[in-house]
Amino acid sequence: MSSVEFGPRLRAIRTARGLSLSEFARRIYYSKGHVSRVETGAQAASVEFARRCDSALDARGDLVTLVRPATPDPSPEPADGHDDGMWIMTMAADGNSSFVPIGRRQVLTGGAVLLAQLSGGAAWATPADPGLPHHRQLLDAARGLGQVAPPGVVLPMLVGQAHALRAMAADRHLDAANLFARTSEFAGWMAQEAGDDKNAVWWTDQAVQVATAAGDGHTAAYALVRRALLAMYDGDAATTIGYAQQAQSSTKTPPRILGLAAQREAQGHAIAGDYDSCMRALDRARTDMARGNAETGPVVGTSHVPDPVSAVTGWCLYDLGRPKDAAAVLDQVVARIPITAVRARLRFGVRQALAHAASGDVDHACSLARPMIDQTMTVGSATILADLRRLATSLRRWNTHESVRALGPAFGLALHKGA
């Protein structure tokens, strides 16, 4: 079936449920005219509209699949073209910086291939190193800075630290190799926040290669979670689910990584409109994350959201077309995120505003959005900006509201700057 069949299929299910056009439009917070145009084929259905209809009619994802394929692929292939090379970062006089990976062939020319050293037969050691605690503090500081500053400010710090840690790891320093993996993973997240998915994958691959050479297979599992996150932000349900399920396939994977993978799987099912599978994945996530609370060492994944499973639950409910339920959950989640965790509060706060707007609570959505628009420009997050754009589009449906008109200039400035 294709999106051309969406309108007739929507009308057939709606009438089978005994709902008039007016009543159905009221339930999904769209105008009667909009629903009518979609049903007659005069207007294409957006993904969000399809999700709302699917939820209201309990169509179990059937309507969502008409606007976006959602069949899971359990074994997506890793991206190509990201070898084990090195990198350079340049900085101009005005402070702007750029990050450029150098491929394997270029590194061989210089005669320095770190992974060749790591793959040797000598034993790994954990020598006492007075400098390593400072590197851990630097990573913690970078993660804290990442909550309030643009990725371009954080990445140069991470690049320098990664260079130093790789040099230590070349001497088969186990703790340095593990800390390098955590630093590289965070650099990958900052690259994604900067809108650079290619380098996000590149950094993740660096973490996997060094950690695997050091005997740490857990980082490889977490790399699948990161790949699932990239696919989720692309709206690719099948690949999101596939990577997330691969990450959960080993019984040796630590509970926290299993929990993070289950969260990503849930979000993939939510994109596909599969409520039951989404809730089952969230149940597993909650169990695994609770077991993971006893783990020690650098925290994998977010460390600024007190209840990440509830946060993802609210996120999923919105994608499942249940904005009222999402708003109720996210109201509680955002209230518990520390004020200092600006990026985390924005990530779920914009979703909170989206949920209230989709529930018809326009004035409250605008009041939530107002302080977040300027902050979004400050942190420079490509992923948050994408949701802010969705919020602006959603609110334009109520462009006669005074609160919506008042936000127009601020939205315009933020979206223009982020383009």
Q: For the segment 145-154, what is each residue's pLDDT rounded down to a tens digit?
A: 999 899 988 9
For position 240, what pLDDT does the model report? Answer: 96
Residue 200, pLDDT > 60, answer yes
Q: Where are the domains of the chain?
A: 3-66, 308-418
Q: For the segment 299-314, what is each residue's pLDDT rounded down to a tens digit?
A: 566 778 999 999 999 9
Q: Quick one: pLDDT band at residue 76, thresholds 50, 70, 90?
A: very low
For position 112, what pLDDT does the model report? Answer: 36
Q: For the segment 320-343, what is each residue's pLDDT rounded down to a tens digit?
A: 999 999 999 999 999 999 999 999
For position 106, what pLDDT does the model report? Answer: 40
Q: Quick one: pLDDT band at residue 413, thresholds 50, 70, 90?
A: confident
Tell me the HSE value of 204 on the side-chain side, using a 13 A CA sphere.
29
The predicted model gives 93-103 an average pLDDT of: 51
Report yes or no on whether pTM surpasses 0.95. no
Residue 85, pLDDT > 70, answer no
Query: Could you give the residue ranges of the DSSP H alpha helices within 86-196?
Result: 104-110, 114-118, 132-145, 151-169, 174-193
The predicted model gives 169-195 an average pLDDT of: 85
Residue 306, classed as helix, strand or coil, is coil
The predicted model gives 104-115 an average pLDDT of: 39
**Computed over its alpha carbons, how large is the radius of gyration of the chain?**
23
Q: Give the CATH number of domain 3-66; options: 1.10.274.50, 3.90.400.10, 1.10.260.40, 3.30.470.20.
A: 1.10.260.40
Query: What fold, for 308-418?
Result: 1.25.40
Percent of the chain with pLDDT over 90: 42
The Cα–Cα gap between 12 and 20 comes to 12
The predicted model gives 365-394 an average pLDDT of: 91
For position 3, what pLDDT does the model report? Answer: 55
